[in-house]
C-alpha cells in the first residue's frame, strides 16, 4: 500500500493535465474579457456608420 501511494505521489502526468486545464480556462476568460470590452465600441462604430450612410443616401 505504501509503495503504491509513493508511486502515486511521484506521478506527474496528472499535474500536466491540471496545468493545461488552468491554461485553457485562463485563455477562455481572457477571450470573454476582450469580447466584453470590444462590444460597446463596436456597437457605437456600427451606429455611426449607419448614420453616415443614411445621411449620404439623402
pLDDT value at residue 8: 79
Q: How far apart are CA 34 and CA 28, in angstroms?
A: 10
Cα-flanking dihedrals φ and ψ of residue 35, to 5°?
-60, -40
pTM strictly above 0.75: no
DSSP-derived letter for residue 11 is -
Tens of pLDDT, residue by residue over 3-49, are 888 887 788 777 788 889 999 999 999 999 999 999 999 999 999 99
Amino acid at each position: 500500500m505504501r509503495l503504491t501511494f509513493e508511486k502515486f505521489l511521484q506521478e506527474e502526468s496528472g499535474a500536466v493535465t491540471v496545468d493545461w486545464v488552468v491554461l485553457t480556462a485562463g485563455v477562455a476568460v481572457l477571450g470573454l474579457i476582450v469580447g466584453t470590452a470590444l462590444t460597446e465600441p463596436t456597437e457605437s462604430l456600427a451606429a455611426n456608420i449607419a448614420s453616415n450612410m443614411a445621411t449620404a443616401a439623402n
